[in-house]
Chains A and B, each alone.
Chain A
Amino acid sequence: MTMTPRIVEIRQNVLKKNDLLARELRERFRTAGVYVVNLVSAPGAGKTTALTELMRRLAGAGWRVAAVVGDLATDNDAERLRASGAAVRQITTGTVCHLEAEMVARAIEGWDLGSLDFLFIENVGNLVCPASYDLGENERAVLFSVTEGEDKPEKYPTLINSADLAVVTKIDLAEAVGFDRRRFQEAVERVRPGIEVLEISARTGAGLDRWLERLLAGRAAARVR
């Protein structure tokens, strides 16, 4: 049989499987009325510490909160998060340097989402790979600690471009490390104009009230939609 050369248009997203699953998750979250936040940052920026404090405050105010946390190997972060009183599940990713929708779907199996108000997802500490993977979250917060330098956002434009909120952590150390707020703010503006920047310290509690306020407003807005 003779063969003829052909070119065929496909136009499919390479991460189609993840995107489809994320869409399903988003629909499940919406139906259940749970507000979902994905926390991303470089390793050690302060996700677990901030999340523990946020969840402690939310739980204290009567909100029903839970978290899933991704880690390459250990379950230390899950243990620490449980100190907040929230239900926590660990996702051990092994060699995978980011969370995928399928891992989240498996981690929340058996949980009654309808009995939750907030679900937090602590991603694997990594400023590159998590950007490409939608987890069905309502919002994505990217954290930068004051010890990482003011130009970090410009070095990782992809991740901050996928985020809805930028959080500066460990602000209690700002003076000690000579953190220049204005330079950081300018760097963020160059990469992602208009994104809100929050400054927090999980140590002193500074800025956490504003973050809580934002979360509650986000949840209320998502329920109207």
Chain B
Amino acid sequence: MHELSIAHQLVELAVENADRMGLRRVTALHVRVGALSGVVQEALRFAYDIAAAGTAVEGARLIIEDVPVVIYCPACRAERSLPAPVPARCPVCGTPSGDVRAGRELELYALEGEADEEGNR
């Protein structure tokens, strides 16, 4: 269970960036979580509430976007999105591929909040 440590880093990153972007109040964090990121969403949600408590992002919603695994299929010569990380095979032609193009990310994608009218960017 390393989601608590990850949640603390997420909150720290959000607070830093909110400040940099001139957001006075943060209402939501948009996070992209890859199917191969090793992060369990339920655990992250739970840990987030704990990590956010008492910080500038306390009360902000955590909006998680699932990122599926994308492999490059050498037979189709195309990137293919997988319904699940296993099996790592092209869903169209069945060719196995270990060439992972997406699905490992764990990213703070965007912040929602309120800024002063002039928006001091």
**Which positions in A face B, CB cutoff 8 Å?**
1-17, 96-98, 128-129, 131-132, 154, 157-159, 161-162, 189-195
Contacts and interface: CB of A to CB of B under 8 A. Distances in A.
Given A13-B105, A159-B38, A7 B2 contact: no
A191 B88 CA distance: 6
Contact of A3 (B25, B109, B111): B25
Given A8-B113, A14-B6, 10 more contacts: A4-B115, A4-B116, A6-B112, A14-B9, A98-B2, A158-B38, A191-B85, A191-B88, A192-B98, A193-B88
Nearest to A100: B5
A3 B117 contact: yes
Contacts of B17: 8, 10, 12
Given A6-B113, A128-B38, A129-B38, A14 B5 contact: no
B9 A4 contact: no
B85 A132 contact: no
Nearest to B10: A14
A16 B110 contact: no
Contacts of A159: 38
B106 interface: yes
B65 to A, nearest CB: 12
B106 A10 contact: no
A96 B112 CA distance: 32
B38 A5 contact: no
A170 B83 CA distance: 35
Given A3-B24, A7-B112, A12-B17, A157 B98 contact: no
Contacts of B115: 3-4, 6
Contacts of A14: 6, 9-10, 13, 31, 106-108
Most buried by B among A10, A14, A98, A193: A14
B117 A2 contact: yes
Nearest to B2: A129
Shortest 7 CB-CB contacts between residues of A and residues of B: A193-B96, A3-B114, A129-B2, A158-B38, A190-B87, A194-B98, A193-B98
Contacts of A7: 110-112
Contacts of B104: 161-162
Given A97-B1, A154-B86, A191-B87, A10 B108 contact: yes
A96 B96 CA distance: 35
Contact of B6 (A1, A8, A11, A15): A15
A168 to B, nearest CB: 18
B95 to A, nearest CB: 9
B109 to A, nearest CB: 6
Contacts of A98: 2
Interface in B77-121: 85-89, 96-98, 100, 104-117, 119
Nearest to A192: B98
B6 A5 contact: no
19 contacts: A1-B116, A3-B25, A3-B114, A4-B114, A4-B115, A8-B111, A9-B109, A10-B13, A12-B17, A13-B107, A14-B10, A14-B13, A14-B107, A129-B1, A131-B38, A157-B86, A158-B37, A191-B85, A191-B87
